[in-house]
Amino acid sequence: MNEVLMIPKRTLGSTGIDVSCLGLGTVKLGRNQGVKYPSSFELPDDRHILNLLATATELGINLIDTAPAYGVSEQRLGELLRDRQRWVICTKTGEEFVDGQSRFDFSATHTRASIHRSLKRLNTDYLDLVLVHSDGRDREIIEHSDCFETLARLKEAGNIRAFGLSGKTVEGGLLALQHSDVVMVTFNPDQQEERQVIQQACELNKGVLIKKAFASGHAVVDSSADPVRSNLQFSLQEPGVSAVVVGTINPHHLRDNVRACLD
């Protein structure tokens, strides 16, 4: 008898959006340059991606995370995603990856152009969630650029359902909670500095997504224990966490990740 696995869903703060508590990160669908993973990899072909997406669907995963900085990830998802209504698509703005280098632009003009380009690339008329892809200057971006204000207007116009910050500082995360719907924070057993942001988000009923749960894959390589289960459980048991986003192009790893969440 085949094992039946189905990941549960959680509501993303006060957005009204229900997301699988494990999300699929897609940087590996579109970019293999300048990434921080411990080993190199080839970009998968379309057939491989379709199999990965089918596996995610079978497992109940509906949250998919992409970004303009992920090379051709958005374009490939736009071509290969089926049944748009079942997916919660999270993309980003602010960072571009061009000629092997990251470039950042948080201006209103770039933000608006980036969102409309993502809509076209992803072959959709709305984005569920847009995160500002911070370069580390979280507070400056929120207070001294037009990025958040522009996203708020795009939300009012119906182009996006919710927005927030994929930040790098506690100060920035706390500030983002005052002005947006969702934060994406780094959180794992070795990096717990942003727990304060998660706790504040929980109090304010704002959404929390976790990135780098495996320290970009290094926790899996460096540990002799079971880091997949322990790291996922560590994040998902933290009150206020909506979902953990993990990138993979291996359907077996995706299934193992779901199993670890359910253990």
Q: Would 1 be classed as within a structural domain? A: no
- Per the structure, the complete domain to which residue 69 belongs is given by 9-262
pTM of the model: 0.94
Residue 242's nearest CA partner among 20, 91, 92, 64 is: 20
- State the catalytic residues: 70
Q: Would 194 be classed as within a structural domain? A: yes
**Per-residue pLDDT at 161 exceeds 50:** yes
**Per-residue pLDDT at 222 exceeds 60:** no
pLDDT, residue 246, reads 97
Q: Would 2 be classed as within a structural domain? A: no
Distances (CA, A) of 71 to 97, 122, 257: 7, 13, 25
Structure token pair of residue 76: 């490939």
Q: Would 221 be classed as within a structural domain? A: yes
**Per-residue pLDDT at 223 exceeds 80:** no
Task: Tell me the residue type at 201.
Answer: A
Q: Sorting pLDDT into bands at 50, 70 and 90, what band is 205?
A: very high
**Per-residue pLDDT at 224 exceeds 60:** no
Structure token pair of residue 32: 């293999």
DSSP calls for 164-182: EEE-S-HHHHHHHHHHSSE
Q: Residue 25 carries which DSSP code?
A: E
Contact in structure between 194 and 160 (CB atoms under 8 Å): no
Q: Would 239 be classed as within a structural domain? A: yes
Q: Would 188 be classed as within a structural domain? A: yes
pLDDT tens-digit readout, 118-149: 999 999 999 999 999 999 999 999 999 999 99
Q: How many domains does the chain have?
A: 1
Q: Sorting pLDDT into bands at 50, 70 and 90, what band is 40?
A: confident
**Per-residue pLDDT at 105 exceeds 80:** yes
Q: Would 163 be classed as within a structural domain? A: yes
> Domain of 88: which CATH number?
3.20.20.100
At residue 87, the 3 state secondary structure works out as coil
Q: Would 4 be classed as within a structural domain? A: no
Q: Which residues does residue 188 pair with via DSSP β-bridges, in sequence order?
A: 191
pLDDT, residue 216, reads 58
Give me the mean pLDDT over the 80-105 stretch: 95
Distance separating alpha carbons of residues 33 and 26, to the nearest angstrom: 14
